[in-house]
Structure 1
């Protein structure tokens, strides 16, 4: 087994691997596994993200420990292991800390590209940290002609090429066809109901209990899409909306359906909301793309 401590992967390879993974999922009758949390004695937890990639011939699991430290910041790591479905042997162990950023941004932007009309011209990134910058980077690959505006509550010291910093959320979202929420906020950042019908809003939020970026009360007034149906129990605002009477069966589609072309298009009558929580299949796809970038690791496996 090869240990890859600094995996490298190009954006186009990540996007292609995600399309393959969700394409596999669209043809499968097996639901995508969700997240599994193991509580640790004395506090902390380990989240497990399992997945199978049939086209790659591997099983994958990412483990992400959260280890509180009373004397300072908590320790947070992430590692993904790939196991051959032919031999049952480990193929690679990858440091997934950086890969998690890639899969988060790539998943959002892949969904947004499939939900947006061809003539979408302007995007807003709310929260221009490491993950927000990755969102803008992936968007430049799939929608290179879009204007991108960015806002962060604490200000933005520097922006990447093609991105313009603005002074407020209002300045960022006004006239935007796509609004990507990339914050670690514990409460509402934006109410999508204030945006014109057809505007695509994406949210990643965090795994913290109760964390959300939009109000649960807004959910019934949106065309809702998710990365997978299992996300309905994990995404705080969707779970709270369901408790208040919203019917999860009204979700219009998931990412597998969007990739395969089975999910219905947005109605055009309401803002559109795509919610991702981070799935093992996304981690597996990005790890596989990184492994394929390493010739020795994937020798003898399906290509």
Structure 2
């Protein structure tokens, strides 16, 4: 059917899973979203959160506008069963995009693949901007959704990394991490580590992606001078934040909403020195010396979801994927 203001292209999980996109394309798209935000051309309001008193679920709503792509979008996220193991949780996330030039809807899509790509891409950009010049060893903690592509994305932005370490306990997750590394970088190998403290001491870049139930918690004393510790999920103790020489965040406001588990005994979080969009814009440097220990917080910004979601919508339209739904008739 012809596109008009009553129809909406719906892109399912299977529609999006069949789209090919390179890691470099993802990184470039996410980086452009940060640059556009830093230039004041995009809008990324603070996310709205609702959570019941017993903490069994959490829901987010995020609205944003990409000023280069000229699109407006709303992302919703709902997770149920936070006290349960990952296989017993229910998680749904969607992104609905509107063209702000024509006024027509672009697409509504499952946002899970978008998140599984934009988050490790943001971590890789944080690593590129925050890592010491001679960074050679990377450690990933966790083998879930965010951990599985962490190493390939790190190699995309830091190709000189020569030692890749993984700390994980789930056999299927470890196998998935190894498979993704082989798929994207068949000539590279990773080491599975069991002594987390020792591995952290060797690492120049640490990306902590573990789930909430992980016992892993790298302390500040385990970090060597010049180390960069990036928190995506769990796996870093609060001391890595509070004793850092520099603190970088994708968004300080988002960090204060979602990073409360890293607060000190009085419930306080330290000030953020710089936000990633400003660093990527080239206005300021993430670190001022090679010996500084840098803590980086990756909470995700909806403008990156919008940019990457729009990129997927373009690819899907080219291949005529999705279902046209007469939603407003």
After TM superposition, the score normalised by the length of structure 1 is 0.84
Distance in 1 between residues matched to 2:44 and 2:296, nearest whole Å: 17
Residues 59 and 79, structure 2, Cα contact 8 Å, conserved in 1: yes
Residues 42 and 65, structure 2, Cα contact 8 Å, conserved in 1: no
Aligned residue pairs: how many? Answer: 290
Residues 3 and 94, structure 1, Cα contact 8 Å, conserved in 2: yes
Distance in 1 between residues matched to 2:81 and 2:260, nearest whole Å: 26
C-alpha spacing 1:243/1:279, structure 2 compared with 1 (3 Å): farther
Distance in 2 between residues matched to 1:12 and 1:232, nearest whole Å: 26
Aligned residue number for residue 209 of structure 1: none
Give the C-alpha shift of residue 3 in structure 1. 1.5
Q: What pairs up with 1:206-285 in 2 under 5 angstroms? A: 213-222=235-244, 223-237=246-260, 240-241=263-264, 243=266, 247-248=270-271, 251-268=272-289, 269-285=291-307
Pair 1:101-2:101 in alignment: no
Give the C-alpha shift of residue 32 in structure 1. 2.9
For residues 165-192 of structure 1, the C-alpha deviation after alignment (integer angstroms, 9 at most, x for no partner) is 2222134323211011110135761113
Give the C-alpha shift of residue 87 in structure 1. 2.8
C-alpha spacing 1:54/1:173, structure 2 compared with 1 (3 Å): same
Residues 201 and 222, structure 2, Cα contact 8 Å, conserved in 1: no
Pair 1:203-2:231 in alignment: yes
Aligned residue number for residue 148 of structure 1: 164
Distance in 1 between residues matched to 2:83 and 2:207, nearest whole Å: 34
Distance in 2 between residues matched to 1:24 and 1:297, nearest whole Å: 28
Give the C-alpha shift of residue 51 in structure 1. 1.6
- Structure 2 gap segments, 5+ residues each: 1-7, 183-187, 321-329
- Structure 1 gap segments, 5+ residues each: 206-211, 299-303
Aligned residue number for residue 48 of structure 2: 36
Pair 1:115-2:114 in alignment: no
What SS does structure 2 have at the residue aligned with 1:289?
A: helix
For residues 207-257 of structure 1, the C-alpha deviation after alignment (integer angstroms, 9 at most, x for no partner) is xxxxx5433344332111000121232243577249556542xx2211101
